[in-house]
Structures are given as structure tokens and as C-alpha cells.
């Protein structure tokens, strides 16, 4: 029998039928076209049974809600804390009802959600109200704040340990995008990497160790793009020392200042690496001046800020930079007790196709060993394997060492605290599914299941539906946070699914049904998805650079917004002398009238009030120095293009073009 005909007989769609068949025990594949008639008859029977079960669930659900309402009426309305996203299972616990009843209630209201799937806060709050509760947002934030407090407490306790021994410093490199952070880390690894690392560091570990003059230094990798703000803050919380990288030809930029705020907030000692000193236009003194303007006076200017000019591209003065890091470490005297039960911080987590849930932990105190029983938030596990930054298996990890841990039942949150402790076996028996709930609880898509919305509601005129996949949790967090910032009053962005790992066949099916665009960061298409992509017209964008994806989505958002070009009036320029007059480039002496004139202004050449030509100011100079604008009444020289035929006494009526929403 044809699958489409069977779906019609069962009064459903082919896609829904293929999706639900594995749940009913029939795994015929998502691409099946025909099935055996005997199998078709069995499917009809199973489908009919499931429909009956659903009706029963609905009746039970009505009874459960009635009971809850009666109880709620006899007492004051109780507040329950619900995060931005919550698993159906967890919501049922908070509401004090059976998960089957809650699923039935959701189905009755058009929300198809399994026990492991998430619903957003708005939906959960409506459900809570029907059950006699008032939903309050904020549990997720509280959990994250507690993690930060725990990290700070670990640092304080570690410093007071009487049996503490010297440990490697943990260094985070921070700075603006394109200022050379990655190049610097590559340069350090090429000449100083510990032991026998071959090739580039695996991106999933997020940390590695180098050796300088026989001493080990741990480096954390935090991306410089604005989208990775949360990851930079995490790095600042767990690090001992920061290297602030600033390009000598660019100076202090927004992410540089943000990095400085994190450094000061965490009270981190730091060294400034002034990079790209070999480039034309490099100005070390300019960087130092900008640092001094925010009260970070360089040492050679009488201050306390250590500045090291380097060329990461050429590998120049890298050793000098590391020497300064070790000097700071000697002054600060970083220690930890390796004999204590291990504590650490999760700095990265992801799902590996072969290894399952994997997390990178930076050991804070104690020594982590294979076989240790660990707790990470609500997650429990026993370490089956430890791997260092080279992928080599190790038996133990001392303080300040980053290691990949295997043996977890689910993916922990980045920033969670790892503790070595005996697992309460009664607790494990009582709630064996706790291992899996951690994946669902957080406001991120992790292992298998991702947020979905009712397809009937996701397509609208000014709505862009997207599916977001990434290789790591930190990357997914950053991408989702940046995407949310792109929404405005004209356009909404519906993230109908988000998760870790390669783009799958089911992703393409959902994208096709929902008219969604798939965005993938540092991942690929699975073989099945690649084959299906030739058959289905689905737009897929994959990149290893996060802002390429954001730029693409930004362009799509802008396409919904009607704009117009508006001229913003500047001052006028009176032509005093013409030094050069040509269409390609003219040089004119002028005096600013009426108001200041910006250096990027356009102008209309007026003579006797009549327009003669139109052009663009390229540069304004005073006393042979380029300036950003000509102040009212000031005489200046200007370089212009796209206009000619200037005469003394002409007026250049200046303006700036701005794109504004209609």
C-alpha cells in the first residue's frame, strides 16, 4: 500500500504518520513510499488503539484539572517559578499532576509535546493558570547566578587551603574580533604547546596547556565576536590572569572595552598584548594613550599596566609575553590542594556521535580521576574516561588542567560546578530519569529534543522561521542570544527548533513544512540530510564564522522593513580657493558656515542659489592634519570626488544620507 493513501485513510498527513510510526513500534524509515498490506493493517489497528488512548487521557485530564481547580479555590493562588523554557515532565512535577494528564491537556489545546520536549514560558504560564497556579519567571537566572557565586567561593576557599601547592595559572585571552586573538593562540601553540599535540587543537575542548621555560600555563579560548559575550564572561570567572589583546592599527573597540569590564569585575590581573605592530598604520602610542584615558596607565608611562608589543602573525615577542604572564603568576602565587576531592567548572559541553554526552571541565581544586563518581548540578555519573586537550587518555587531572570527561548520562550546562561525591543510590533509583531531565530543563537545546512550535502558528507575513544547529552549547547560546537581538517591531523571528550536532533529515522535513531557513554553525549535513536536500527546496546556511550567519539573517530581517533615504542637513562650505579641479578628485580651500560639516558629508554645488553638481567629501584637513569635521567658522582644505567646475564664492550645501524606517 502507498504510504500517502494510508495516511489519508487515517486522517493525518504523511509526515505526521512517518514521524509517529516509530513510537507505535513500526520503523519503516522517513523516506518510505510503499509498505506491505499486512503491515498496513497492523498500523491501522495500532493507530486506532492510540486514538482511543488519547480520548481516555483527555477524560482523565478533565478530571485532574477539575480536582486541581477545586483545591486552588480553597487556598490562595500559589506562585511557581518557571524558566524561559521548561520540559513537560518538569512542568508536571511543578503542577503536582501526572505527566500523562498534562500531555493530554496540551494535545487537547493543539500542542503536540512529548514528555521530553520543552514549552516556552508564555505557554507554561497559561497551563499553570488553568491548574490554579501563577507562573513567575526566573529560575534559570537564579541557577546561573548561583553558579557564579559558587565559582567565586571556590576561588576564595582554594586560596586559604593550608596544604595548597603551586599550580599552573589559568589564562584567558580576551579582545575585539579581528584583533588577532586566534592568531596569537595559534602562535603560542606552534612553539610552546605541551607534549606532543599534533595539528590544531580540537575546538570542543575549549582549553589547552603550553610550556614556557619548564612551567605549564593553561589557556582558555573565548571568541572575540560580540555574540560570544557570555562565553567571555565565563572565561573571566574561571581564569587567574587575562591577556587583553589590542590591535596597534585599530585601538580600543567595543569588545575590548567589554573585556576590560569583565577583567575589572572579576578583579583579574592582566597583561596587554599590543598586536599587529608590523602593520602599516600601527601606532603603539595611540593604544597606550587610549588605555591611559580609561585609567589603565602603561608601565613606561608611570602606571602599572604591563604592555607587550607583539606580532602574532610573525610570532615575534611571544616568549616575552609569556614571560610577563609567568611574572604576574609569581607575584600572585596561585595554589590549590591536589589531595582534596576534586571540584571544577564545566567550560564546554556537547554531544559526540560516538561518545555521547561529553563535557570539558577545568579542575579547580583536588585531582579528578577515572572512576570518580561525580555530580554536576542535577546530573550524576561515573567517569569512564578522561582525555586531555590532545585527545590522549589520562588517568587523572590535577588542579588547573582542562580535561574532557566521558561517562555522563546527559549534557550539563556550561558554568555548572562539578563535584566528586558518592552518588546516593536510593536517589538514583527513586528518580532514574533525572539524568535526562538536565538536558531538557535548561534554556538551550542539548542532546535529542529541541523546542518546536505549532506549525499552524509559525508562518505569518512578517515572521522568519528558522532552525538553529551548532556544534557546541556555548556556540549555540551565543548564536541564539544574537538572533533574538535582531527582532524588532516589524519582524519576528521564530526559532522553531534548535539543537546540537549535524543537520538531520528530520530538520529538513520540519524546515520544508514550516517554510524555515536552517542555520548551522561549525557543523555539516548528515548523509541522509544531504541526499534529501537535493529533493527539497530548503534554504540552508552553514558557516564556521558566526557573524556570517548573523549577517545573512540581518539582511532577511531588513528585507521586511520599508525604508527611505533621508537627507540630514549639515553646514555650508564657502569656496575660498580651488587648488585642483577634476571629476576624479578636487582639492578646495573652504570656510564652514552655519553649522559644522562632517568629514563623510555629501554636498550640492550651488552658484547663485542654482545647483551645478553633486559630490562626496573624502577628507577634511586643518593645518595639514586630517580632522573628523569642520567646525563653524573654521577654514579648511577638503578633498572631494564626483564633482568638478568649482569657482571661488560657490557654496557647497552639505548633508548626510540616513536610511530610516518609513
Measured distance CA(129)–CA(78) in Å, rounded: 10
pLDDT tier, 272 (very low <50, low <70, confident <90, very high otherwise): very high
Rounded CA separation 222/128 (Å): 39
pLDDT of residue 578: 95
In which order are the strands placed within the sheet that holds 517-521? 492-500, 463-470, 517-521, 540-543
What pTM does this model have?
0.51
The domain limits of the chain are: 3-70, 78-137, 170-334, 343-438, 461-560, 564-660
Question: In 3D, which of 354, 345, 457 has the Cα closest to residue 401?
Answer: 345
pLDDT tens per residue across span 23-71: 778 877 777 788 888 888 888 888 887 776 676 556 556 555 555 555 5
> Of the spans 170-179, 257-266, 586-595, which averages the highest pLDDT?
586-595
The 3-class SS string of 543-586 reads ECCHHHHHHHHHHHHHHCCCEEEEEEEEEEEEEEEEEECCCCCE
| Percent of all residues in the chain with a pLDDT value above 90, rounded to a whole number | 24
Could you tell me what percent of the chain has a pLDDT over 70?
80
If phi over 0 gives left and psi between -120 and 50 gives alpha, with beta otherwise, what is residue 66? alpha
* Residue 109 or residue 159, greater confidence: 109
Query: What is the pLDDT confidence band of residue 394, given thresholds at 50, 70 and 90?
Result: very high
Q: Is the pLDDT of residue 439 over 50?
A: no
pLDDT for residue 201: 31
Contact indicator for 239, 170 with CB cutoff of 8 Å: yes
Q: Which residue has the cell 564564522?
A: 545
Instruction: Please tell me the CATH code under which domain 461-560 is placed.
Output: 3.40.50.10050
SS3 label, residue 650: coil
Residue 227 CA to residue 519 CA, distance in Å, equals 15
Segment 621-625 shows an average pLDDT of: 89
Cα 157 from Cα 152, distance rounded (Å): 9
Of 247, 245, 269, give the one whose Cα is nearest residue 259.
245
Residues 6+ apart with CB under 8 A from 586: 578, 580, 615, 639, 640, 641, 643, 644, 646
- The predicted pLDDT at position 77 comes to 57
pLDDT tops 50 at residue 427: no
CA distance 200 to 186: 8
DSSP string covering 266-319, please? Answer: TT--EEEEEE-TTSTT--HHHHHHHHHHTT--BGGGTSSBEEEE-BTTTTBTHH
CATH class entry, domain 564-660: mainly beta
For residue 453, give every residue at least 6 positions away whose Cβ sits within 8 Å of its Cβ, in sequence order, or none: 494, 496
pLDDT bracket for residue 187 (50, 70, 90): confident
The CATH topology of domain 78-137 is: Arc Repressor Mutant, subunit A (1.10.10)
Q: What's the pLDDT score for residue 113?
A: 72
Top pLDDT among 291 and 348 is at 291
pLDDT at 262 over 90: no
- In the prediction, which pLDDT does 441 show? 31
Fold matches, 343-438 and 564-660: yes
For the four alpha carbons of 384, 389, 394 and 396, in that order, the dihedral sign comes to negative
The number of beta carbons lying within 10 Å of the beta carbon of residue 85 is 21
Q: Reply yes or no on domain 170-334 having CATH 3.40.50.300.
A: yes
Give the span between the Cα atoms of 88 and 100, in whole angstroms: 10
Q: The domain 343-438: what is its CATH number?
A: 2.40.30.10
Question: What mean pLDDT, rounded, does the chain reach?
Answer: 79
Amino acid at each position: 500500500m502507498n504510504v500517502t493513501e494510508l495516511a489519508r485513510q487515517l486522517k493525518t498527513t504523511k509526515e505526521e504518520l512517518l514521524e509517529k510510526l516509530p513510537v507505535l513500534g513500526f520503523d519503516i524509515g522517513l523516506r518510505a513510499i510503499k509498505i506491505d498490506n499486512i503491515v498496513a493493517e497492523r498500523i491501522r489497528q495500532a493507530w486506532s488503539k492510540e486514538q482511543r488512548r488519547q480520548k481516555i487521557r483527555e477524560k482523565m485530564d478533565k478530571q485532574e484539572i477539575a480536582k486541581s481547580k477545586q483545591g486552588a479555590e480553597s487556598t490562595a493562588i500559589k506562585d511557581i517559578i518557571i524558566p524561559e523554557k521548561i520540559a513537560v515532565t518538569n512542568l508536571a512535577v511543578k503542577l503536582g499532576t501526572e505527566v500523562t494528564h498534562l500531555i493530554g491537556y496540551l494535545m487537547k489545546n493543539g500542542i503536540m509535546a512529548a514528555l521530553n520536549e520543552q514549552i516556552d514560558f508564555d505557554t507554561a504560564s497559561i497551563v499553570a493558570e488553568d491548574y490554579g497556579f501563577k507562573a513567575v519567571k526566573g529560575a534559570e537566572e537564579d541557577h546561573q547566578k548561583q553558579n557564579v557565586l559558587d565559582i567565586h567561593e571556590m576561588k576564595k576557599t582554594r586560596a586559604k587551603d593550608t596544604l595548597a601547592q603551586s599550580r599552573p595559572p589559568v589564562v584567558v585571552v580576551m579582545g575585539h574580533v579581528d584583533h588577532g586573538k586566534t592568531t596569537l593562540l595559534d602562535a603560542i601553540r606552534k612553539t610552546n604547546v605541551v607534549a606532543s599535540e599534533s595539528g590544531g587543537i580540537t575546538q570542543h575542548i575549549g582549553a589547552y596547556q603550553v610550556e614556557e621555560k619548564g612551567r605549564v600555563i593553561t589557556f582558555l579560548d573565548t571568541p572575540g565576536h560580540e555574540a560570544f559575550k557570555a562565553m567571555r564572561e565565563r572565561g573571566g570567572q574561571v581564569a587567574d590572569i587575562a591577556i587583553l589583546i589590542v590591535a596597534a592599527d585599530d585601538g580600543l573597540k567595543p569588545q575590548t572595552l567589554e573585556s576590560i569590564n569583565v577583567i575589572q569585575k572579576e578583579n583579574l590581573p592582566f597583561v596587554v598584548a599590543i598586536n599587529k605592530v608590523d602593520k602599516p598604520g600601527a601606532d603603539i602610542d595611540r593604544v597606550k594613550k587610549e588605555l591611559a584615558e580609561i585609567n589603565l596607565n602603561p608601565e613606561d608611562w608611570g602606571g602599572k599596566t604591563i604592555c607587550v608589543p607583539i606580532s602574532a602573525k610573525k610570532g615575534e615577542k611571544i616568549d616575552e609575553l609569556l614571560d610577563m604572564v609567568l611574572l604576574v603568576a609569581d607575584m600572585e602565587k596561585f595554589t590549590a590542594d591536589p589531595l582534596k576531592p576534586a571540584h571544577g567548572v564545566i567550560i564546554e559541553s556537547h554531544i559526540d556521535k560516538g561518545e555521547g554526552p561529553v563535557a570539558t571541565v577545568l579542575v579547580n581544586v583536588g585531582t579528578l580521576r577515572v572512576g570518580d563518581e561525580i555530580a554536576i548540578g542535577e546530573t550524576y555519573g561515573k567517569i569512564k574516561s578522561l582525555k586531555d586537550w590532545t585527545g590522549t587518555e589520562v588517568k587523572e587531572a590535577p588542579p588547573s588542567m582542562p580535561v574532557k570527561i566521558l561517562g555522563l548520562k546527559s549534557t550539563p550546562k556550561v558554568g555548572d560546578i562539578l563535584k566528586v561525591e558518592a552518588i546516593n543510590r536510593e536517589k538514583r533509583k527513586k528518580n532514574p530519569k533525572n539524568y535526562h531531565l538536565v538536558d531538557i530543563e535548561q534554556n538551550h537545546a542539548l542532546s535529542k529534543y529541541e523546542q518546536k512550535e505549532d506549525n499552524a502558528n509559525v508562518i505569518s507575513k512578517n515572521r522568519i522561521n528558522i532552525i538553529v544547529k551548532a556544534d557546541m552549547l556555548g556556540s549555540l547560546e551565543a548564536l541564539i542570544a544574537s538572533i533574538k537581538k535582531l527582532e524588532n517591531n516589524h519582524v519576528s523571528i521564530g526559532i522553531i527548533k534548535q539543537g546540537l550536532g549535524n543537520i538531520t533529515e528530520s530538520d529538513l522535513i520540519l524546515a520544508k513544512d514550516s517554510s524555515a531557513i536552517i542555520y548551522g554553525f561549525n557543523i555539516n549535513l548528515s548523509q541522509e540530510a544531504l541526499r534529501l536536500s537535493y529533493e527539497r527546496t530548503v534554504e540552508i546556511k552553514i558557516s564556521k564564522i558566526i557573524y556570517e550567519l548573523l549577517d545573512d539573517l540581518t539582511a532577511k530581517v531588513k528585507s521586511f522593513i520599508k525604508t527611505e533615504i533621508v537627507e540630514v542637513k549639515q553646514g555650508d562650505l564657502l569656496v575660498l580657493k580651488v587648488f585642483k579641479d577634476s571629476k576624479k578628485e578636487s582639492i578646495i580651500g573652504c570656510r564652514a558656515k552655519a553649522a559644522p560639516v562632517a568629514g563623510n558629508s555629501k554636498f550640492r554645488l550651488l552658484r547663485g542659489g542654482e545647483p551645478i553638481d553633486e559630490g562626496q567629501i573624502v577628507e577634511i584637513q586643518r593645518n595639514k592634519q586630517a580632522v573628523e569635521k569642520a567646525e563653524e567658522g573654521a577654514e579648511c582644505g577638503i578633498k572631494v570626488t564626483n564633482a568638478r567646475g568649482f569657482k571661488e564664492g560657490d557654496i557647497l550645501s552639505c548633508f548626510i544620507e540616513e536610511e530610516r524606517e518609513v
